Amino acid sequence: MLDTLEKPARDAGAQDVAHFDVLIAGAGISGIGSAVHLKQQCPEKSFAILDAKDSFGGTWETHKYPGVRSDSDLYTFGYRFKPWVGAPIASADEILKYMGDVIEENQLNDHIHYGHLITHCSFSRETNLWSVEAISKADGKTHRFTCNFLWMCQGYYNHNDPYIPDWSGRDTYKGEFIHAMKWTPETDVTGKKVIVIGSGATAATIIPAMAGKAAHVTMLQRSPTYFFCSPNQNELADRLREIGIDEQTIHRVVRQQVMFDQQALTQRCLDEPDTVVEELKELIRLYAGPDFQFEPHFTPNYRVWQQRLAFVPDGDLFQAVGRGAVSVVTDHIERFTEKGILLTSGEELEADMIVAATGFKLSVLGDIPFEVDGQPVDWADTVTYRGMMFTGVPNMLWVFGYFRASWTLRVDILGDFVCHLLNHMQAKGAKRVEVKLRPEDHNMPLLPWIEEENFNPSYLVRDLHKMPKRGDKPEWRHNQDYWHEKDEIPAINLDGAEFAYS
């Protein structure tokens, strides 16, 4: 685990140096998918994957709370190249099994260096090499790697240090307190009165999973969230299977269907949000009962789809609310007390256990110190090229996926892009590529990474100042729009003026 690796002082004199054409940081769903693309499309390139953990999976290895599952369907959260054959919403264990199969089928195991925490990355325009330092858990020493291209697949949040608001009086609380990210198999809720703070995807997962075991669960939210309830099955996939269609074809067709439906839903959220909200309510009533009261706990005050829509397979959260195992409170925390939480309204909620499902801390490029030509990189001073490359930082790409569509769709798109770029560089005899603002971009306004108006998850808003800047042109922003990018990115002219080669 990352958190068992202390970061000792930098040992820049590390002696052993291993060189690879490409280094991939992270063996999560991004790193493993990227490695497969590299192996298939650039078979001559040597590569290694470094991960601080003892195993692959990233997010799916970190989170161990009850019921942990995807909230996207696996036909699109799975890779383009590996059919998903189960129910659309998958548990962490099922996702890990799928990734394990991908690793085995593509013989990636020998390429992965587990227990290697990357602590420093520096690029030299003189040698056109990255020098990457990583502390090995096995010997506690700093090992040095060099590579021509650095493929950053280290995710977007800190896996060890979850976001816990600074609640007053937390240390006076005498019961158990835990953040969902820190759940261990020993954590037990049996017969306990539990408060879960939060109402996002994590709360929507953990609450129904605890509802049968705990004496009672209270979901405490500051503000309501939109939920999308639906059976955990894909009728088209089931039907195609029934009539004997092969899994490759089913994967391709169902992926296309899911993406088409998502695009239609996104568009409808913009065009007719009130109708969509009514439909979401109707779906909830199917599970919670026809008389379910939406006011005040299930009437969000933001535009539907402005934040990620929390998916609830089989409406399990609402089944639990409907049968009284779960209650919902919408209020603010005044402070913790010995017995529980005092709310701003004056009410005190008592609990044996309080679970924070309050999200993450953003981690920009793994919070790893980066240098280019001996100068530290401040990501906030860079401008992003399509949310993947950065001005002033050569031979590097960060896989930052989608939030409204499955993250992994972008892993496939960027996988093709990197391989295309590496092959292009080889054909040109170039050793270095960097993105540069073109003359016509110089007066472009430099804006925060996301448009808060359009999409505003709180972990991004909290630390937006640490993120690279975006411009106001399509080339200089991560538009979070799979439906445009799936055509735009493959069509990029790699000899365009925004790419400088040496």
Ligand X SMILES: Cc1cc2nc3c(=O)[nH]c(=O)nc-3n(C[C@H](O)[C@H](O)[C@H](O)COP(=O)(O)OP(=O)(O)OC[C@H]3O[C@@H](n4cnc5c(N)ncnc54)[C@H](O)[C@@H]3O)c2cc1C
Q: Which of these segments, 149-157, 224-232, 320-328, 446-454, binds ligand X (CB under 6 A)?
A: 149-157
Tell me the C-alpha distance between 189 and 206, whole Å.
Answer: 11
Question: Please, are residues 122 and 371 in contact by the beta-carbon 8 Å criterion?
Answer: yes
Q: State the minimum distance, in angstroms, from the CB of residue 256 to ligand X.
A: 17
Binder among 22, 23, 24, 30 for ligand X (CB under 6 A)? 30
Tell me if 356 contacts ligand X by CB under 6 A.
Answer: no
Tell me if 401 contacts ligand X by CB under 6 A.
Answer: yes
Helix extents (H) in 233-342? 235-242, 247-271, 273-288, 316-322
Provide the token pair at 7: 């970061």
Tell me if 269 contacts ligand X by CB under 6 A.
Answer: no
Question: Please, are residues 216 and 210 in contact by the beta-carbon 8 Å criterion?
Answer: no
Tell me if 224 contacts ligand X by CB under 6 A.
Answer: no
Cβ atoms within 10 Å of 290's Cβ, excluding its own = 7
Q: Which of these segments, 57-65, 237-245, 430-438, 460-468, binds ligand X (CB under 6 A)?
A: 57-65
Cβ atoms within 10 Å of 496's Cβ, excluding its own = 10
Question: Please, are residues 370 and 376 in contact by the beta-carbon 8 Å criterion?
Answer: yes
Tell me if 71 contacts ligand X by CB under 6 A.
Answer: yes
Q: 3-state DSSP call for residue 341?
A: strand
**How do beta strands 227-230 and 310-313 pair?**
parallel
Tell me if 87 contacts ligand X by CB under 6 A.
Answer: no
Provide the token pair at 481: 């729009």
Q: Which of these segments, 154-162, 209-217, 257-265, 294-302, binds ligand X (CB under 6 A)?
A: 154-162
Burial, 84: exposed, middle or buried (Cβ in 10 Å; 0-12, 13-18, 19+)? Answer: buried
Tell me if 179 contacts ligand X by CB under 6 A.
Answer: no
Q: State the minimum distance, in angstroms, from the CB of residue 384 to ligand X.
A: 16
Binder among 88, 200, 366, 392 for ligand X (CB under 6 A)? 366
Q: State the minimum distance, in angstroms, from the CB of residue 291 to ligand X.
A: 31
Tell me if 88 contacts ligand X by CB under 6 A.
Answer: no
Cβ atoms within 10 Å of 441's Cβ, excluding its own = 18
Q: State the minimum distance, in angstroms, from the CB of residue 474 to ligand X.
A: 22
Binder among 66, 78, 115, 155 for ligand X (CB under 6 A)? 155
Tell me if 406 contacts ligand X by CB under 6 A.
Answer: yes
Binding mask 306-335 vs ligand X (x if CB under 6 A, - otherwise)?
Answer: ------------------------------
Question: Please, are residues 67 and 24 in contact by the beta-carbon 8 Å criterion?
Answer: no
Binder among 37, 45, 53, 410 for ligand X (CB under 6 A)? 53
Provide the token pair at 148: 């021509």
Tell me if 415 contacts ligand X by CB under 6 A.
Answer: no
**Binding residues for ligand X restricted to 188-207, rule: CB under 6 A:** 202
Tell me if 266 contacts ligand X by CB under 6 A.
Answer: no
Tell me the C-alpha distance between 459 and 307, whole Å.
Answer: 12
Q: State the minimum distance, in angstroms, from the CB of residue 94 to ligand X.
A: 12
Tell me if 72 contacts ligand X by CB under 6 A.
Answer: yes
Question: Please, are residues 35 and 106 in contact by the beta-carbon 8 Å criterion?
Answer: yes
Q: Which of these segments, 20-28, 237-245, 344-352, 423-431, binds ligand X (CB under 6 A)?
A: 20-28
The percent of the chain in helix, strand and coil, each rounded to the nearest 5, is 35, 25, 45
Tell me if 221 contacts ligand X by CB under 6 A.
Answer: no
Residue number, 121 or 276, with CB nearest to ligand X: 121
Tell me if 397 contacts ligand X by CB under 6 A.
Answer: no
For residue 230, give the DSSP letter. Answer: E
Total chain residues near ligand X (CB under 6 A):
33
Tell me the C-alpha distance between 218 and 220, whole Å.
Answer: 6
Look up residue 406 and give its amino acid. Answer: S
Tell me if 145 contacts ligand X by CB under 6 A.
Answer: no
Could you tell me how many residues make up the chain?
Answer: 502
Cβ atoms within 10 Å of 360's Cβ, excluding its own = 21
Question: Please, are residues 391 and 470 in contact by the beta-carbon 8 Å criterion?
Answer: no
Tell me if 394 contacts ligand X by CB under 6 A.
Answer: no
Tell me if 66 contacts ligand X by CB under 6 A.
Answer: no
Helix extents (H) in 78-214? 92-105, 201-211
Q: 3-state DSSP call for residue 403?
A: coil
Tell me if 234 contacts ligand X by CB under 6 A.
Answer: no
Residue number, 1 or 446, with CB nearest to ligand X: 1
Helix extents (H) in 42-118? 59-62, 74-77, 92-105
Binder among 20, 47, 77, 390 for ligand X (CB under 6 A)? 77
Cβ atoms within 10 Å of 431's Cβ, excluding its own = 16
Q: Which of these segments, 15-23, 64-72, 258-266, 315-323, binds ligand X (CB under 6 A)?
A: 64-72
Binder among 25, 237, 419, 435 for ligand X (CB under 6 A)? 25
Residues that bind ligand X (CB under 6 A): 2, 25-31, 50-53, 58-59, 63, 68, 70-72, 77, 117-118, 153-155, 159, 202, 366, 368, 399, 401, 406-407
